């Protein structure tokens, strides 16, 4: 089956429309109170590999719903006005997600070049996924 548009072209087109930060630029924003680092990977990836310290987990499948104030799934953290710095495993999903958020009108969206794989390879800080509070 031949597709009209493959994933490589989708990613390339998204990359032309979004801001990409290299590892050093992203690391410089690690403790910036005006930046929300957003991990869009699946929860199993977080449990297996860890995550960037203090990142907010917003699964890729829910991102558009969580960012839209009109959605019943809206998360105020994503509407705080802070810069949203997205990342995934290899920067493919985050490129596509960042492009969608830009199209939706979310201001100040960027993503991390190379994703979490490049972050870890650069020896940058990694934290364990926070555990959920016990049910009462």
pLDDT for 131: 76
Q: 40-58, pLDDT tens digit by residue? A: 999 999 999 999 999 999 9
Question: What does 36-93 look like in DSSP terms, one character per residue?
Answer: EEEE-S-HHHHHHH-BSTTPEE--GGGHHHHH-TTSTT--GGGGSSSEEEEE-SSSHH
Domain residue extents for the chain? 18-121
Q: 20-43, pLDDT tens digit by residue? A: 999 999 999 999 999 999 999 999
- 2 confidence band (pLDDT: 50, 70, 90): confident
Task: State whether CATH 3.40.250.10 applies to domain 18-121.
Answer: yes
């Amino acid at each position: 089956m031949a597709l009209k548009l493959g994933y490589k072209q989708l990613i390339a087109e998204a990359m032309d429309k979004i801001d990409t930060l290299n590892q050093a630029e992203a690391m410089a924003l690690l403790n910036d109170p005006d930046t929300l680092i957003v991990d869009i990977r699946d929860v199993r990836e977080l449990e297996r590999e860890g995550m960037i310290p203090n990142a907010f987990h917003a699964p890729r499948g829910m991102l558009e719903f969580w960012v839209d104030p009109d959605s019943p799934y809206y998360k105020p953290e994503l509407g705080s006005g802070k810069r949203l710095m997205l990342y995934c495993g290899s920067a493919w999903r985050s490129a596509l997600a960042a492009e969608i958020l830009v199209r939706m009108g979310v201001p100040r969206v960027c993503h991390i070049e190379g994703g979490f794989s490049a972050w870890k390879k650069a020896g940058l800080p990694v934290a364990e996924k926070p555990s959920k509070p016990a049910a009462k």
